[in-house]
Chains A and B, each alone.
Chain A
Amino acid sequence: MIDILSKRYLYFAISLLVILPGLIVLISGGLPLSIDFTGGSLLEVQFDPGTSMNTSEIVPIYETAGIDDAQVTTTENGSLVIRSSFLSNEIRDEIITSMELAAGSAPQVIRFDSVGPSIGRQVTSRAILAVAVAALAVVIYITIAFRKVSNAFRYGVCAIIAMVHDVAVVFSVAALGARLFDWQMDALFLTALLTVIGFSVQDKVVVFDRIRENSSILRRLDYEKLVNHSIVQTLQRSINTQLMTVEFLLLALALFGGVTLQEFAVILLVGLFSGTYSSIFIAAPILVLWEKREWTNWFSRGATA
């Protein structure tokens, strides 16, 4: 039988290696929040072939309308994305009319989002609350589901630690994406994050369930061996469902699914992978570590593996 658990400190190191760079980026630059959370507006327009406008022409149009923080980016398919503070519908019409006058033809509005600042603030606080409530609900749920196992509370806490790990991985990837691909964290990002939390716990439950079952059959077995045994037993299932099916679906969505869903699919792809990884390499090892109270040895020389 494969011995997975003995190298547990190696897995912790690998996870740290993935999470830390992202967190450093996160702390140094912060995550660019979309207008869903900050309030503001996003206008995407496409001009007829031949007529186009560049940044230096658009910014003055915004300034004339009293908006002095317009930022223009060009997308792959040649449309312009202009981000600015909140635009009322009157000002938006005024700006589009000015663009039409300057460019000679009416621009086609591909997308327009405008979110008032107070709404953004409330969405943010509600989002934090949603994540917190989800986490709490999960601990309570697992503690209840595993109430017949000794130390049921530990399973809940380990699931939460692994969940925090997955959330950190997601943030790390998001921070990287923000640096490299100009991603912004919007309501869809939050949806992806909460889904990762849900599926992360789902995955832990499958592994824990095996531990629960084995601990009643194999009472005599050493706890570390028992957990290792349970992981190996569920390994095939983890690979088959998480890697071969769900990840394939998401990969297809990320590759062929169009711009709107790309970021969403990539976040889910990484997050769900992390969810599977952390069941085996984070949550279960911590259970063992806790059972053996290994932290008592951490500072005495050469005691740990």
Chain B
Amino acid sequence: MIRNLSNRIIAIVFVLAFALWIDLSPQIEVLNPLDGNALFIRDVSPRLGLDLQGGLQVLLEADLPEDSPVDANAMETARQIVQQRTDALGVNENVIQLAGDRRIVGEFPGLEDTESVLATIQQTGLLEFVDTGDFSLDPGTIIATDYSPGDNAPGEVPPSEDSTEDTVYHTVMTGGDLDSVIVRTDAIGTGYEIDFTLTPNGSEIFASHTSANVGKFLTIVLDKLVISSPSIGSAITGGQGTISGNFSLESANSLAIQLRYGSLPVPLKIVETRIIGPTLGADSLQKSLVAGLIGMTIVAMFMILYYRLPGIVAVLSILFYAAIALALFKWFHFTLTLPGIAGFLLSTGAALDAIVLIFERLKEELRNGKILSQAVDQGWTRAWSSIRDSNLSTIITSGILFWFGSTFGATIVKGFSLTLALGVAISLFTAIYVTRTLLVLFLRTFKPQNLTLWFGI
């Protein structure tokens, strides 16, 4: 049967102990026994999906014609900016991910005040520094500029001489040329001003523009909306400048945030919003857990009644399987969603299927008059090709589902396919390795003689 049984048992106990440690604690911490310092820390707190704890999900899409290609780097930068912006709001555990090549999905679990988040994301600002000549424009005015997202070097476009009613102002430079922005108290100490540093390219543009236009107004425009219209006090040649005005700490900070993060390389629009109220989520979580428990209890009872001794072994190895799967979900920070739970239950079904295939083979061999140890060996070898081939087909479909889910930020579909595929993979391990070891251990310990009683043949 199995030669190195004790080694196998040690390995199983070790894996189980480690899995239970992760399952039962919110954080894994290994201390150095000499000085008590932490050698290793990993946060393994469970992550609940939006459908379980409520929250907001938005899908943003590049606001460009459908057939025009979107630069992958630009999308990644845009993703980071959205992340920074929403982080600055102080929202916890928000996840911003790329979904396909022109979409970004943002998830804000447990969020009730959805409006502030949406407003922040929607400031999908294209920040521009616009030459408005002798005019200071009021904040809130909507103006037209000669910059469009395709242009790489707005500074090289000659100033517009258009003086009709719909004046098209010339964009001197965009937010992309800003390097850093900080808020500090002004010289008098009562107000605040904003210091900014420019990229080398920006410094050049800025130097030539400001030296030629001292006293004129350089208006800061976000999404074609004027947010501030300071005048050029003196030529700014060093690549560093200051925006002063009657700023309070709050207004200075908010302008700084807009300057810092306002420069999205790709314009984004919200194409999908999903809000799940917290009560619906909590209700679903509780109900599906109860449902899972009821289902598992019935299945466990059936297995024990039908398969007797092997049934007990099967239930033990399913519990083992559940412990490992949960530990892996927690370790890799999988977000647990309702379909994820369903996928997990289904993969438990696959795990049971593998075990039942083996046990049916085992019984068949026993009926054919094989002795127990031979029957156990045959059961495993013969059932293996079915188990392997059938589970592979499930893994293939899971892969296709995962691909489908990730292109559209359908995290629910993704969660389902991921838990299903991972569950099937772990179930193969438990069926082949754990169940067999446990069964052999039981057989050696109890040495059953009455096959009808112990195996239900």
Contact = CB atoms under 8 A, between A and B. Distances in A.
B86 to A, nearest CB: 15
17 contacts: A89-B118, A111-B275, A111-B277, A115-B271, A116-B61, A130-B403, A137-B400, A187-B412, A190-B413, A202-B350, A202-B391, A242-B353, A248-B299, A249-B346, A251-B295, A253-B342, A258-B287
Contact of A245 (B280, B339, B352): B352
Contacts of B290: 256
Given A195-B397, A209-B385, A236-B360, A187 B292 contact: no
B398 A198 contact: yes
Choose among B272, B364, B401, B403 the residue with the greatest number of A CB atoms under 10 Å from its CB: B272
B112 to A, nearest CB: 9
A134 interface: yes
A279 B280 CA distance: 39
Contacts of A81: none
Nearest to A134: B400
A13 interface: no
Nearest to B283: A258
Interface residues of B, number: 70
Nearest to A35: B272
Contacts of A188: 339, 412-413
Contacts of A250: 295, 345
Given A145-B389, A248-B302, A126 B407 contact: yes
A118 B302 CA distance: 49
B306 A240 contact: yes
B396 A116 contact: no
A166 B298 CA distance: 27
Interface in A121-142: 122-123, 126-127, 130, 133-134, 137-138, 141-142
Contacts of B356: 237, 240-241, 245
Contacts of A89: 115, 118, 122, 270, 273
Contacts of B283: 258
Contacts of B277: 44, 108-111
Contacts of A240: 306, 356, 360
Given A261-B338, A261-B342, A187 B291 contact: no
Contacts of A130: 400-401, 403-404
Interface of B: 51, 59, 61, 66, 115, 118, 122, 270-277, 279-280, 283-284, 287-288, 290-292, 294-296, 298-299, 302-303, 306, 338-339, 342, 345-346, 348-350, 352-353, 356-357, 360, 364, 382, 385-386, 389-394, 396-398, 400-401, 403-404, 407-408, 410, 412-413, 416-417, 420
A223 interface: no
A258 B61 CA distance: 32
Contact of B295 (A116, A206, A248): A248
Nearest to B294: A252
Contacts of A252: 291-292, 294-295, 298
A231 B274 CA distance: 47
A290 interface: no
Given A115-B272, A248-B298, A253-B288, 6 more contacts: A109-B277, A113-B275, A126-B407, A199-B346, A257-B291, A264-B339
Given A110-B279, A194-B400, A245-B352, A209 B386 contact: yes
A159 to B, nearest CB: 9
Contact of A109 (B51, B275, B292, B296): B275
Contacts, number: 213
B364 A233 contact: yes
Contacts of A12: none
B358 to A, nearest CB: 10
Nearest to B290: A256
Interface of A is mostly: helix
Nearest to A42: B274
A147 B92 CA distance: 53
A257 B293 CA distance: 11
A123 B410 CA distance: 10
Interface string A190-209: 11001101110111011001
A150 B288 CA distance: 46
B349 A202 contact: no
A202 B394 contact: yes
Contacts of B401: 130, 191, 194-195
A268 B350 CA distance: 14
Contacts of B303: 245
Going nearest first, the 8 A-B pairs with the smallest beta carbon separation are A198-B397, A252-B295, A258-B287, A116-B271, A246-B349, A112-B275, A249-B295, A256-B291
A195 B412 CA distance: 14
A249 B389 contact: no
Nearest to A212: B385
Contact of A258 (B284, B294, B298, B420): B284
Nearest to A136: B400
Contacts of B349: 241, 245-246, 249
Contacts of B408: 119, 122-123, 126
A210 B386 contact: yes
A96 B274 CA distance: 16
A253 B386 contact: no
B291 A206 contact: no
A245 B302 CA distance: 8
B352 A257 contact: no
A265 interface: yes
A244 B273 CA distance: 40
Contacts of A257: 287-288, 291
Contact of A249 (B59, B122, B299): B299
A209 B338 contact: no
A260 interface: yes
Contacts of B364: 233
A198 B392 CA distance: 9
A127 B400 CA distance: 10
